[in-house]
Chains A and B, each alone.
Chain A
Amino acid sequence: MKPDTVLSVKDMHTVFATPGGTAHAIRGVSFDLRRGERLGIVGESGAGKSALVLSLLGLVEPPGRVAGGSVWLNGRDLRTLSERQMRRVRGKEISIVFQDPLTALNPVRRIGPQVAEVLLMHGDLSRKQARERAVGLLADVELPEPEKCYAAYPHELSGGMRQRVMIAIALANSPDVLIADEPTTALDATTQAQIITLLNKVIEERGTAVVMITHNMGLVADFCDTVQVMYAGEVVEYGSRDRLLDRPAHPYTAALLASVPAMDARRDLPLPALSGLPPSLTDLPEGCAFAPRCPLEGERGLCRTTRPAPRILDGEPDRMSMCHFSAEQLALTS
Chain B
Amino acid sequence: MSRFLLRRTFSAVLTVLGGTVVAFVVMRLLPGDPARLVAGEFASAEAVAEQHRALGLDEPLWSQYLIYMADFFRGDWGFSYSLGEPVFEQFVRSVPATVELAAAAVTLAFAGGVIGALISSYSRGGPLDAAVRASSYIGLGTAPFWLGLLLLIVFFERLQWLPGPEGRLSSSTAAPPPVTGLHTVDALLAGEWATLGDAAVHLILPAVTLGFVIYAFLVRMLRASMLELVREPYILVARSKGRGRWGVIVRDVLPNALLPAITVGGLVLAELLTSTVLAETVFGWPGVGKLVTDAILQQDFAVVQAFIMISACLTVACNIVVDLLYGIADPRVRVRSS
Interface residues of A (CB under 8 A from B): 57, 59, 83-84, 87-92, 95-96, 98-100, 103-110, 117-118, 121-122, 153, 155-156, 166, 169
Contacts and interface: CB of A to CB of B under 8 A. Distances in A.
B329 interface: yes
Interface string B267-297: 0000000000000000000000000000000
A-B CB proximity, top 6 nearest = A91-B242, A91-B241, A153-B331, A118-B241, A103-B233, A90-B242
A164 to B, nearest CB: 14
Contacts of A96: 237, 240
Contact of B244 (A83, A92, A153, A169): A83
B227 to A, nearest CB: 12
Contacts of B232: 103
27 contacts: A57-B240, A59-B236, A90-B241, A90-B242, A95-B241, A98-B233, A98-B236, A104-B237, A105-B237, A106-B238, A107-B331, A107-B332, A108-B256, A108-B329, A108-B330, A108-B331, A109-B255, A110-B331, A117-B241, A118-B241, A118-B242, A121-B243, A122-B242, A153-B331, A153-B335, A156-B335, A166-B237
Question: Which of B236, B241, B255 has the most chain A CB atoms inside 10 A of its CB?
Answer: B241
Interface of B: 232-234, 236-245, 252, 255-256, 259, 329-332, 335
B263 to A, nearest CB: 15
Contacts of B243: 87, 117, 121
Contacts of A59: 236, 239-240
Contacts of A92: 242
A156 B331 CA distance: 10
A107 B240 contact: no
Given A83-B244, A121-B242, A155-B335, A104 B256 contact: no
A91 B236 CA distance: 12
A206 B255 CA distance: 35
Contacts of B239: 57, 59, 90
A105 B241 contact: no
A107 B331 CA distance: 8
Nearest to A96: B240
B240 A95 contact: yes
B256 A106 contact: yes
B233 A104 contact: yes
Nearest to A93: B242
B233 to A, nearest CB: 4
Contacts of A110: 331
Contacts of A98: 233, 236-237
Contacts of A103: 232-234
Contacts of A169: 237, 241
Contacts of B330: 108
A103 B259 CA distance: 17
Given A98-B233, A155-B331, A108 B259 contact: yes
Contact of B240 (A90, A109, A153): A90
Question: Which of A84, A104, A155 has the most chain B CB atoms inside 10 A of its CB?
Answer: A104
A107 B234 CA distance: 9
A87 B242 contact: yes
B234 A105 contact: yes
A88 B255 contact: no
Contacts of B238: 106
Nearest to A107: B332
B108 to A, nearest CB: 26
A105 B330 CA distance: 14
A87 B242 CA distance: 4
Contacts of A106: 234, 238, 252, 255-256
Nearest to B245: A83
Contacts of A99: 233
A155 B333 CA distance: 11
A90 B236 CA distance: 11
Given A169-B237, A169-B241, 10 more contacts: A57-B239, A89-B242, A98-B237, A103-B232, A104-B234, A110-B331, A117-B241, A122-B242, A153-B331, A155-B331
A67 to B, nearest CB: 20
Nearest to B125: A62
B51 to A, nearest CB: 61
A44 to B, nearest CB: 21
Nearest to A59: B239
Contacts of A87: 242-244
A279 to B, nearest CB: 26
A57 B242 CA distance: 10
A153 B332 contact: yes
A115 to B, nearest CB: 10
